[in-house]
């Protein structure tokens, strides 16, 4: 819709240009005037400003002027109407688009809020989208074309402000991820979010080591240093290249379909209270690497007699289709 309206504006501008060329050429040919005088006469004729003639007009020149007035005013009116239509339609489209997006955000529950849409934010948004997790982006200047193309929901504004986080649904959100450039802004965003909703799970980026303790004090539940993780990953790729390759594969960074997932056992689940060997989980091709118990204790390489209880989280390894099969089994009971 927008591209077609721009096309008509360009057509109008081209017609205006053609009219100017027609007028200048006509006056120079009919009245033998110079270029400047012909251009001046064409402009005052097309614009109908009513200034006096600078060229004495013959009968042929007067008839030409009549034609130029009709042609020029018609072309000018067409161009102006197309330009106004383009501007008004664009504003209305943006207004209705904004209202529609606000309605979608207001309807969200248990979603995630992503503060910052830079290089790291775009990667996080892509992963959340691939996993069908609902989220809202907060950024002072989100890349409109990219967010629109990917149908991302976003709020334009400063994520350190309470009203901006409230617009993004922080009071109904499941978690908040803050990956803006400055640690001080990540700190303020964390403080604001925890002040509005103390039980909200907050993950924050931390670039400087000295900011870590401040983010902990602010209430961040998880603090991630991209430089530390990046450095460790590079070092491990030299020291233990095969382990690194396997971890990349498990995290979905290669073409392999194997992945690591976490499965939380819900109350009333068919595996609630069952031993691992009796749960039939392994029949779905899933390998249980560890269990995080309700009291936050980790059990690595759990035995076959390990009891699975509601609230436990299974750290599992398998293919995407295996996890889909297991999910169907757990839902059906």
Q: Please spell the DSSP secondary structure of 14-69, one letter per residue.
A: HHHHHHHHHHHHHHHHHS---HHHHHHHHHHHHHT--PPPSS---HHHHHHHHHHH
Q: Is residue 190 part of a domain?
A: yes
Whether residue 121 sits in one domain with residue 209: yes
257 pLDDT band, cuts 50/70/90, is low
Q: Is residue 56 part of a domain?
A: yes
Residue 128 is predicted with a pLDDT of 93
Residue 105 is predicted with a pLDDT of 93
Whether residue 213 sits in one domain with residue 118: yes
Indicate the residue among 103, 129, 153 that finishes a domain: 103
Give yes or no for a contact between 294 and 311, defined as CB atoms under 8 angstroms apart. Answer: yes
Environment class of residue 83 by beta-carbon count within 10 Å: exposed (0-12), middle (13-18) or buried (19+)?
Answer: middle
pLDDT (tens digit, 9 = 90+) per residue, 241-256? 887 777 777 666 655 6
pLDDT (tens digit, 9 = 90+) per residue, 277-295? 888 888 888 889 899 988 8
Residue 42 is predicted with a pLDDT of 86
Whether residue 223 sits in one domain with residue 123: yes
Tell me the CATH number at 28: 1.10.287.70
Which parts of the chain are beta strand (E)? 112-115, 135-139, 153-156, 175-178, 201-205, 222-224, 258-264, 287-292, 298-300, 313-319
Environment class of residue 112 by beta-carbon count within 10 Å: exposed (0-12), middle (13-18) or buried (19+)?
Answer: buried
Distance from C-alpha of 126 to C-alpha of 28, rounded to nearest angstrom: 62
Distance from C-alpha of 285 to C-alpha of 65, rounded to nearest angstrom: 86
Report in angstroms the alpha-carbon separations of 149 from 42, 144, 168: 45, 8, 20
Residue 183 pLDDT > 90: yes
Indicate the residue among 47, 78, 103 that finishes a domain: 103
Whether residue 172 sits in one domain with residue 130: yes
The structural domain count of the chain equals 3
The overall average pLDDT reported for the chain is 86
Residue 84 pLDDT > 60: yes
Q: Is residue 244 part of a domain?
A: no
Indicate the residue among 103, 134, 159 that finishes a domain: 103
Tell me the CATH number at 184: 3.40.50.720
Positive or negative: CA dihedral 29, 35, 41, 42: positive
Whether residue 287 sits in one domain with residue 216: no
Residue 53 pLDDT > 60: yes
Q: Is residue 304 part of a domain?
A: yes
Whether residue 84 sits in one domain with residue 115: no
Q: Is residue 313 part of a domain?
A: yes
Average of per-residue pLDDT across 172-179: 96
Q: Are strands 153-156 and 175-178 parallel, antiparallel or unpaired?
A: unpaired
144 pLDDT band, cuts 50/70/90, is low
Residue 163 is predicted with a pLDDT of 95
Quick count: other Cβ atoms within 10 Å of Cβ 12?
20
Tell me the CATH number at 305: 3.30.70.1450
Highest mean predicted confidence (pLDDT) among 16-30, 158-172, 270-284: 158-172
DSSP 255: S
Residues ≥6 apart with Cβ < 8 Å to 331: none
Residue 40 is predicted with a pLDDT of 87
Structural domain span for residue 296: 255-332
SS3 103: helix
Residue 234 is predicted with a pLDDT of 87
Specify which residues 291 forms β-bridges with: 299, 314
Whether residue 222 sits in one domain with residue 312: no
Distance from C-alpha of 113 to C-alpha of 201, rounded to nearest angstrom: 10
Whether residue 116 sits in one domain with residue 95: no
236 pLDDT band, cuts 50/70/90, is confident
Q: Is residue 250 part of a domain?
A: no
The model's pTM: 0.63
């Amino acid at each position: 819709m927008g591209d077609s309206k721009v096309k008509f504006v360009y057509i109008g501008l081209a017609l205006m240009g053609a009219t100017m060329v027609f007028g200048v050429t006509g006056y120079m040919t009919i009245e033998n005037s110079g270029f400047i005088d012909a251009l001046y006469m064409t402009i005052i004729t097309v614009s109908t400003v009513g200034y006096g003639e600078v060229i004495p007009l013959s009968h042929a020149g007067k008839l030409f002027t009549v034609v130029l007035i009709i042609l020029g005013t018609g072309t000018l009116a067409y161009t102006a109407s197309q330009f106004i239509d383009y501007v008004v339609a664009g504003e209305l489209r943006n207004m209705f688009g904004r209202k529609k997006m606000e309605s979608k955000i207001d309807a969200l529950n248990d979603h995630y809020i992503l503060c910052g849409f830079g290089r790291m934010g775009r990667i996080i948004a892509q992963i959340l989208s691939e996993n069908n997790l609902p989220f809202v982006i907060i950024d002072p200047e989100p890349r409109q074309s990219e967010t629109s193309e990917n149908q991302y929901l976003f709020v334009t504004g400063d994520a350190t402000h309470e009203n901006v986080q409230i617009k993004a649904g922080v009071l109904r959100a499941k978690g908040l991820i803050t990956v803006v450039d400055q640690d001080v802004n990540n700190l303020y965003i964390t403080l604001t979010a925890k002040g509005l909703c103390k039980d909200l799970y907050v993950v924050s980026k931390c670039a400087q080591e000295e900011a870590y303790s401040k983010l902990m004090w602010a209430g961040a539940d998880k603090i991630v240093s991209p430089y530390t993780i990046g450095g460790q990953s590079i070092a491990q790729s030299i020291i233990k290249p095969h382990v690194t390759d396997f971890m990349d594969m498990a995290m979905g960074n290669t073409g392999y379909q194997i992945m690591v997932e976490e499965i939380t056992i819900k109350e009333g689940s068919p595996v609630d209270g069952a031993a691992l060997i009796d749960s039939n989980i392994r029949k779905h091709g899933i390998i249980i690497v560890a269990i995080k118990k309700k009291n936050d204790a980790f059990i690595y390489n759990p035995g076959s007699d390990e009891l699975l209880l509601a609230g436990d989280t299974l750290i599992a390894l398998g293919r995407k289709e295996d996890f889909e099969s297991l999910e169907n089994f757990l839902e059906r009971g």
